[in-house]
């Protein structure tokens, strides 16, 4: 430690100096120095490549093309546990199987009202930011930064963010999307009744199920105009399964067979029922889900919980260092995530993969990117010399999802085509784009998954930072302007 640093601590009252009797210089209590180091989370030496800030953390380690959460391989966690279980374990150090997060009623109502008031063209990140602010305003205890209070806030905020989003393809204000103006859909555009009916299956009793003269058996639910969806045979032994949406005026969620003899299982679109991953799915795509697809989405949430000090995580820690409450910490993370070089990267990969499928040639699309001087999206990561382990894990799971086969093959073609020019490996953005393209999710879906998942990581970093000295994340600027004195302008 430099002498000037020591005396700066003395001037701030954080160290006590004792003048040596009859001599020059001062002495300091060793216990105070040790306590200061423990409390301050010493700033390490700058990396030789660019003077990056390095902060001690016990959350994520990236080493030898592997990613570990608290010393446990992240891919193994993703294969075994749910997002809520891993998030809670990351915060507390205790794995509690069956952990479920629940949105507080008042916070969810406020978030849904706020989301419904946004313009029709608003995107998912706009809605997530507004939902976080509304949830904060609904929590009078948000300034309590004790660990238990922060954990309570986090366990309520994450489901609030998801349940405040409208169901995919449904107007904001219907069941699952809050009250307010109608007409703005979950994809950020307006949709006519005719357009919705042309896209959605006909759930009327007696309507044909498909082109093979399948029959739907059903019955009216009650005198309130509700409808129950029955089952249908399609000639292959598959069944269409649906559930009523409940008493909130919602419609049953469409379901369909996957062509491989399996079943798609749908649930009501309301935010109160169903697993967390199911509710998120219904806000990302109007297509029905199957269990293999849900497992991929769940694994993606787990794998994206944290990734060392990414830009959004650093922003979250700076906010926590200033003792911002957890909702503000998450809002700070959202702000940094909204940039084109961070959360939006998966959208670029989605567009590229969709173009590959449309043109039928990965080589042509890759060539266009290189000719225009653009990087090929979804490839390479500065922290992994080899393949991103998160991408590898998701690709393995996507290989077991029949409807993802075409998009997965296209992604593999992109990697192969690029390998002729540079040794670049797939990253997690390319894996997310396979999921989103294959399941009819919008371009913004990958960013939404990223934002929801990373919220748990930001809370974990906030809990760490709250234990450090306040305002320690205060670097000094290196002035490059004209030297004073300068004349008045």
Active-site residue numbers? 342, 381, 429
Distances (CA, A) of 437 to 93, 137, 186, 241, 276: 36, 36, 17, 24, 21
Asked whether the beta carbons of 298 and 459 are under 8 A apart, the reply is no
> Both tokens of residue 474?
């205060």
**What is the spatial distance between Cα 51 and Cα 170, in angstroms, rounded to a whole number?**
48
Asked whether the beta carbons of 426 and 376 are under 8 A apart, the reply is no
Neighbours of 49 (CB within 10 A): 6
**What is the spatial distance between Cα 217 and Cα 232, in angstroms, rounded to a whole number?**
7
Neighbours of 380 (CB within 10 A): 18
**What is the spatial distance between Cα 379 and Cα 412, in angstroms, rounded to a whole number?**
11
> 3-state SS string over 399-456?
CCCHHHHHHHHHHHHHHHHHHCCCCCCECHHHHHHHHHHHCCCCCCHHHHHHHHHHHH
**What is the spatial distance between Cα 394 and Cα 392, in angstroms, rounded to a whole number?**
6
Angle at 428 between CA 424 and CA 429, to 5 degrees: 90
Q: Can the peptide bond before residue 485 be classed as cis, meaning omega within 30 degrees of 0?
A: yes
Coil, helix or strand at residue 13: coil
**What is the spatial distance between Cα 449 and Cα 440, in angstroms, rounded to a whole number?**
14
DSSP state of 42: -
> Both tokens of residue 387?
């393949």
> 3-state SS string over 109-132?
HHHHHHHHCCCCCCCHHHHHHHHH
Upper half-sphere CA count for residue 292 (Cβ side, 13 Å): 19
DSSP 170-189: SBBTBTTS-SS-S-BBTTSS
Upper half-sphere CA count for residue 296 (Cβ side, 13 Å): 29
Distances (CA, A) of 345 to 163, 219, 371, 423: 24, 47, 20, 20
DSSP 289-340: --HHHHHHHHHHHHHTS--SS-HHHHHHHHHHHTT--HHHHHHHHHHHHTST
């Amino acid at each position: 430690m430099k002498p000037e640093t020591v005396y700066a601590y003395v001037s701030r009252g954080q160290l006590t100096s004792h003048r040596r009797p009859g001599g020059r210089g001062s002495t300091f209590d060793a216990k105070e120095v040790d306590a200061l180091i423990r409390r301050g989370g010493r700033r390490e030496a700058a990396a030789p490549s660019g003077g990056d800030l390095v902060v001690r953390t016990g959350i994520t380690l990236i080493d030898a093309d592997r990613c570990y959460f608290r010393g446990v391989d992240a891919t193994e966690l993703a294969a075994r546990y749910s997002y809520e279980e891993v998030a809670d374990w990351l915060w507390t150090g205790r794995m509690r199987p069956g952990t479920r997060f629940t949105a507080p009623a008042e916070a969810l109502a406020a978030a849904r009202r706020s989301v419904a008031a946004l313009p029709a063209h608003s995107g998912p990140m706009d809605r997530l930011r507004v939902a976080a602010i509304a949830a904060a305003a609904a929590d009078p205890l948000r300034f309590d930064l004790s660990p238990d209070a922060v954990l309570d806030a986090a366990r309520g905020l994450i489901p609030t963010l998801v349940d405040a989003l409208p169901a995919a393809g449904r107007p904001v204000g219907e069941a699952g999307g809050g009250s307010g103006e109608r007409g703005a859909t979950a994809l950020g555009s307006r949709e006519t009744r005719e357009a919705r009916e042309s896209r959605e299956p006909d759930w009327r009793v007696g309507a044909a199920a498909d082109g093979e003269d399948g029959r739907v058996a059903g019955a009216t639910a009650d005198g309130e105009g509700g409808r129950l969806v029955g089952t249908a045979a399609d000639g292959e032994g598959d069944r269409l399964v649906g559930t009523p949406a409940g008493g909130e005026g919602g419609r049953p969620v469409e379901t369909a067979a996957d062509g491989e003899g399996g079943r798609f299982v749908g649930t009501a679109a309301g935010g109160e029922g169903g697993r967390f991953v199911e509710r998120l799915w219904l806000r990302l795509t109007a297509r029905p889900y199957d269990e293999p697809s849900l497992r991929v989405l769940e694994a993606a949430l787990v794998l994206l919980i944290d990734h060392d000090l990414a830009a959004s995580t650093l922003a979250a820690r700076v906010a926590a260092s200033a003792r911002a409450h957890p909702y503000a910490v998450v809002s700070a993370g959202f702000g940094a995530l909204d940039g084109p070089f961070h959360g939006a990267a998966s959208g670029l990969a989605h567009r590229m993969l969709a173009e590959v499928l449309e043109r039928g040639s990965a080589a042509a699309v890759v060539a266009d990117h290189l000719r225009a001087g653009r990087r090929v999206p979804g490839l390479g990561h500065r922290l992994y010399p080899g393949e991103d382990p998160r991408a590898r894990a998701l690709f393995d799971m996507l290989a077991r999802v029949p409807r993802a086969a075409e998009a997965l093959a296209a992604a593999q073609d992109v990697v192969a085509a690029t390998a002729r020019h540079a040794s670049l490996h797939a990253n997690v953005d390319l894996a997310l784009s396979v999921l989103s393209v294959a399941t009819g999710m919008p371009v913004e879906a990958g960013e939404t998954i990223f934002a929801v998942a990373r919220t748990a990581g930001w809370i974990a970093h906030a809990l760490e930072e709250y234990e450090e000295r306040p305002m320690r994340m205060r670097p000094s600027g290196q002035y490059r302007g004209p030297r004073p004195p300068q004349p008045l302008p």
